[in-house]
Amino acid sequence: MRRLINTVRQSFRISVQNIITNKMRSFLTMLGIIIGVAAVIGLITLVQNATSSILGQFSELGAGTLSVSAPGTAMKSGLTDADLQTIMEVPGVRGVSPQVSGATAAVYDARVYENVSVTGRNELYFAYNDVIESGRGLNASEMNGSINVCIIDQDFLKNIFKGGEALGKRVRLNGAEYLVVGVQKKDNSIFAAYSDRSSLDGSVIIPYKNALTMSWSKNVTSLDIYVEDGVSNAEVEERLRETLDKIYNHTENAFQVMNMDSLMDTMNSVSSMLSTMLGGIAGIALVVGGIGIMNMMLVSVSERTKEIGLRKALGAEPSRIQTQFLLEAVILSVFGGMIGVGLGCLIAFVGARLMDTSFAISPSAIALGLGFSAAVGIIFGWAPARRASRLNPIDALRAE
């Protein structure tokens, strides 16, 4: 044990000396490992961070949510109130929130704003989503289609109310007066970030019945369904499909059900596949780096033949020489690995900033990078170390 510690300590000192004396060569040798490890860490961290950001927003939006799109058939378009009631009674369904989308013009303060997006919702949307910044959401009593209240978004507040007080004010939407009862939070989701809303003056949410009237349609074609806690989405999705099949009399393509959970599963598997693939590509860089280490160690062994001969004459056993050269290779590659980890984290950090996703260093990626570089050192240092240990002391001492 003491012998091993001695050998390790001495080899460490010799390796550091060699790295310092041959600065340029050591750096170029390590560069392969540095690039390999930096690529592994950088890419894996980047993919993981991007995925967790996206998944986080997905789950904010849709954990325990099913989305139904039901254009219906020629005989029966969309879903009636009675259908909604039927869906509400499906076991495991906690709530149903219709979504009616359209656009109209708004009039406020004697000015006309042509591009206002209107979305019809019910009270449950506000119960299950945390979207209100000030004021309130919609009430159940406002769902009969005759009460004109609206919730505006931040764009509406900025462009139409010019940032002033909006609550309690009235705007004219599609010819009818609406009372502003609430203001939405800024929408930070990636869907908002990637959809172009610059041409819009603003968005409002009104009771869905009002929105149906506004868009000249009778029935709802899009719904969010909230699943009860402790019930699996897939189970509810199954029952929901049966119910909708009955509603549409088993006509094909009358509806679509989107399960956010299965979407997240898909995302997860795509991201892990991406990690593996990118990691594999980066791994090739590591192997190339390893070959660089092997080359340098072979050069080092032949340069230091005389030194090896002397060490043997002074009583170093072959195993000790082998340990020394193996450790030198490992120290060289782990040192490169550590620089690579730092560089990889930097790449991931800059990448996260540029892509506007969250940044977290994963300890497993660091362990992976260091472990890989140590393994590369052992694998590619083995042959040169073996060669050194087998040198004949007489020939080695005589070498120039």
Which residues contact other proteins by CB under 8 A? 2-3, 6, 10, 14, 17-18, 21, 306-307, 310-320, 392-394, 397
The smaller minimum CB distance to other proteins, of residues 146 and 392, is found at 392
Pairing of strands 256-259, 202-207: unpaired
Closest distance to other proteins from the beta carbon of 343 (Å): 29
Contact 98, 206 (CB under 8 A): no
CB 382, min distance to other proteins, A: 19
Nearer to other proteins, 6 or 85 (CB): 6
Residue whose CB is less far from other proteins, 265 or 317: 317
Nearest to other proteins of 7, 67 (CB atom): 7
Cβ 307 to other proteins, closest distance in Å?
6
Q: Alpha-carbon distance 382 to 389, whole Å?
A: 11
Strand partners, 170: 179
The residue (of 83 and 328) whose beta carbon lies closer to other proteins is 328
Q: Contact 180/226 with Cβ under 8 angstroms?
A: no
Instruction: Tell me whether residue 168 or residue 315 sits nearer to other proteins (CB atom).
Output: 315
Tell me how far, at minimum, the Cβ of 18 lies from other proteins, in Å: 8
Q: How far is the CB of 48 from other proteins (least distance, A)?
A: 44
Closest approach of other proteins to the CB of residue 318, in Å? 6
Minimum distance of other proteins from residue 351's CB (angstroms) = 42
From 164, 126, 128, select the one nearest 149 (Cα to Cα).
Answer: 126
Closer residue to other proteins in complex, CB, 69/392: 392
| Pairing verdict, β 202-207 and 111-121 | parallel
Query: Least CB distance from residue 3 to other proteins, whole Å?
Result: 5
Of the pair 3, 136, the CB lying nearest other proteins is at 3
Query: What whole-number distance in Å separates Cα of residue 193 and Cα of residue 187?
Result: 8
